[in-house]
Amino acid sequence: MPHRANYFTNPSDLVFDTNREIIPQWHHIINNPENFNRIPEQVRLGSNYQTVIEGAIKLAQKKIEANYRLAVPQYYKGKIQLLIPLCLIDRNRADLALVVTKSEEPKCYLGHTCLPLDWAYNNARLIARPDSDWLQP
């Protein structure tokens, strides 16, 4: 039998470091039309969509501080990334997953893009079955 695939060498990469800030890469999230259209229409049509997203990121960080399992790992292009739930419309229901990658300079997480929940679930399954309520099929 073949050996099971190994996607990581450092187990700490699978857990969100709450001492690091998330820095959204706005040029990719908002300025790319394909990515911007992933944002729920109710938020997109408002004039303060960036503020709504920033608030959802702050809320997600607070939730992750209370429950580290909310940040779900995914494997993409040879790297471990984390999927962070963004609750844009209802504070108790995720609308999108923010994809973040750990950066060493500066010590932070870079928020690259937002994924629809079904895409995020499929990406997370490559490593293991997601053990988080917000990311279920």
Q: Which two tokens stand for residue 42?
A: 């109710």
Of the candidate CATH numbers 1.10.10, 3.40.1350, 3.30.2310, 1.20.5, the domain formed by 16-124 belongs to 3.30.2310
**Res 78: pLDDT:** 80
Q: Which residues of 33-50 are buried (b: 16+ CB within 10 A; e: fewer)?
A: eebeebbeeebeeeeebe
Mean of the pLDDT values across residues 7-17? 75
**Res 4: pLDDT:** 66
Rounded Cα distance between 40 and 99, Å, is: 17
State pTM to two decimals: 0.85
Mean of the pLDDT values across residues 17-23? 94
Mean of the pLDDT values across residues 7-20? 79
**Res 127: pLDDT:** 61
Mean of the pLDDT values across residues 78-92? 93
Q: Residue 126 above 80 pLDDT?
A: no
pLDDT tens, position by position, 96-125: 999 999 998 889 999 999 999 999 988 887
pLDDT tens, position by position, 29-54: 999 999 999 999 999 998 899 999 99
Lowest mean pLDDT among 2-11, 65-74, 110-119: 2-11
List of residues 6+ apart from 136 with CB closer than 8 A: 121, 130
Q: Which of 45, 30, 85, 41 is nearest to 63 (CA)?
A: 85
Rounded Cα distance between 11 and 25, Å, is: 25
